[in-house]
């Protein structure tokens, strides 16, 4: 049953039970309309109400400055890898049309997801540069860049600096905004896997995006916070003239902002499920509480793993994710036994990403302290019996 299972999936991931229960009711009969939330128009009063309520809740949760817009988009984090390029190059064309197309997108690579974002820039043919690839520095993705590791292009030649706040596959998380970015450069951050898990000071960011399916609810919606100044851009035919590629309409931040995210059919049922989570979080102490809880849960697990030489936490202490705790068991042949023993206790979806193997426990917002303690107890017991 749902009560027995602790779900440590990396995403799509566990959702809060009260949210799932309310969503179930609303899926059948929303606001007593005699229709479910997936059966009404995104342009109806109730549909529009979901969009504005989700936006209002996010503004409250993050204390978002007024000069940021919130967009609800589709296509996942992966679409944003491309969208940030089209939108930010177009924005530069408004200011410096003659040089915009030659500006260089800088990527700070700390794991699989920032690497994929870089590869998308390369694939789409934008001028791009790896400011650092931590695998080159450290031999593997287990650490954060120091000042001397970062090699940015000069500010006036840079389109933006991009990084991933929490690397879901490797379990590497920044403990604050990326430092040492040259003054005046646009900063883009992927917060897909540590979204709404701590406060953020938006003075350090220009574009922040996150897929919903880890900390916020079901897959299908990507949340984008964008500084309004970035929305300024020439019309597509002007962009063509100066050699800036024009991306698809559905990825265009200005069109999405002008249409309050309702340019085309938004999956508002999905957004409703996400927004029920926002309601719950606001009623239970907001980001401060979520930050404290995530610290407590992750520290408890890391400290337990560190007690036993059987377990090897791969990531260096200062770079360890609060969300995705990755570790190996030595010898590695014991990992399958660890996983099957865990499943017998209903501790589910602990297998590491297929590209790296090992064990990964994702402790997102909907994973409770009690469930984390059950995992910790199992880790202890496994260590003592091996």
Binding interface with ligand PMP (CB under 6 A):
11, 76-78, 113, 164, 168, 190, 192-193, 211
Find the shortest distance in angstroms from Cβ 373 to ligand PMP. Answer: 26
- Supply the DSSP symbol for 9: -
Give me the least distance between CB of 383 and ligand PMP, in Å please.
Answer: 29
Task: Say if residues 280 and 273 touch (Cβ distance below 8 Å).
Answer: no
Structure tokens at 24: 């179930």
| Alpha helices in the chain, H assignment, sequence order | 17-28, 45-62, 76-95, 112-124, 134-138, 236-241, 253-258, 268-283, 286-306, 334-344, 369-384
CB of 314 to ligand PMP, least distance (A): 17
Cβ atoms within 10 Å, residue 229: 12
Q: Which of 165, 139, 161 is nearest to 150 (CA)?
A: 161
- Looking at beta carbons only, is 12 or 341 nearer to ligand PMP? 12
Which lies closer to ligand PMP via its Cβ, residue 10 or residue 376?
A: 10
Handedness of CA 192, 225, 318, 130 (dihedral sign): positive
DSSP letter for each residue of 168-197: TTTTEE-SSSPP-PPTT--EEEE-TTTTTS
Q: Which helix (H) or strand (E) holds 207?
A: strand 207-211
Shortest Cβ 376–ligand PMP spacing (Å):
24
Report d(CA 190, CA 163) in Å as an integer. 6
Closer to ligand PMP by Cβ: residue 77 or 218: 77
- Residue (22 or 78) nearer to ligand PMP, CB: 78
Instruction: Summarize the chain as % helix, strand, coil (round to 5).
Output: 45, 15, 40
Nearer to ligand PMP, 47 or 171 (CB): 171
Question: How far, in Å, CA of 361 to CA of 338, rounded?
Answer: 12
Residue whose Cβ sits closest to ligand PMP: 76
3-state secondary structure of 308: coil
Query: Considering the complex, what minimum distance in angstroms separates the CB of residue 362 from ligand PMP?
Result: 10
The distance of closest approach from Cβ of residue 109 to ligand PMP in the complex, given in angstroms and rounded to an integer, is 12
Nearer to ligand PMP, 193 or 275 (CB): 193
Identify which of residues 76 and 97 has a Cβ nearer to ligand PMP in the complex: 76
Q: How far is the CB of 214 from ligand PMP (least distance, A)?
A: 7
């Amino acid at each position: 049953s749902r009560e027995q299972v602790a779900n440590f999936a990396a995403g799509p991931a566990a959702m809060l039970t009260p949210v799932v229960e309310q969503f179930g009711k609303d899926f059948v009969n929303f606001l007593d309309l005699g229709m479910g939330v997936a059966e009404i128009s995104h342009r109806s009063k109730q549909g529009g109400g979901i969009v504005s309520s989700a936006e209002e809740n996010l503004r409250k949760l993050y204390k978002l400055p007024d000069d940021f817009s919130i967009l609800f988009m589709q296509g996942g984090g992966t679409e944003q890898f491309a969208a940030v390029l089209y939108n930010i190059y177009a924005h530069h064309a408004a200011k410096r049309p003659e040089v915009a197309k030659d500006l260089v997108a800088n990527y700070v690579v700390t794991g699989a997801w920032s690497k994929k974002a870089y590869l998308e820039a390369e694939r789409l043919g934008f001028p791009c540069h790896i400011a650092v690839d931590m695998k080159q520095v450290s031999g593997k993705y287990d650490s954060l860049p120091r000042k001397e590791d970062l090699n940015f292009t000069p500010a006036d030649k840079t389109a933006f600096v991009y990084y991933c706040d929490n690397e879901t596959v490797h379990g590497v998380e920044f403990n604050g905004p990326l430092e040492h970015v040259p003054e005046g450069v646009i900063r883009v951050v992927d917060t897909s896997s540590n979204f709404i898990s701590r406060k953020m000071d938006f003075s350090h960011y220009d574009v922040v995006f996150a897929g919903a399916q880890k900390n916020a609810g079901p897959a299908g919606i990507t949340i984008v916070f964008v500084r309004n100044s970035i929305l300024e851009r020439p019309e597509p035919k002007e962009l063509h003239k100066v050699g800036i590629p024009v991306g698809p309409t559905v990825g265009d931040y200005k069109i999405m902002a002008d249409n309050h995210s309702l340019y085309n059919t938004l999956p508002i049922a999905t957004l409703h499920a996400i927004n029920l989570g926002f309601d719950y979080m606001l009623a239970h102490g907001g980001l401060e509480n979520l930050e404290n809880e995530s610290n407590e849960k992750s520290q408890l697990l890391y400290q337990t793993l560190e007690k036993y030489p059987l377990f090897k936490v791969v990531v260096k202490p200062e770079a360890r994710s609060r969300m995705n705790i990755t570790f190996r068991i030595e010898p590695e042949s014991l990992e399958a036994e660890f996983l099957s023993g865990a499943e017998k206790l209903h501790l589910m979806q602990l297998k590491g990403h297929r590209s790296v193997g090992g064990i990964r426990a994702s402790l997102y917002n909907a994973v409770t302290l009690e469930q984390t303690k059950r995992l910790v107890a199992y880790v202890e017991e496994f260590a003592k019996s091996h």
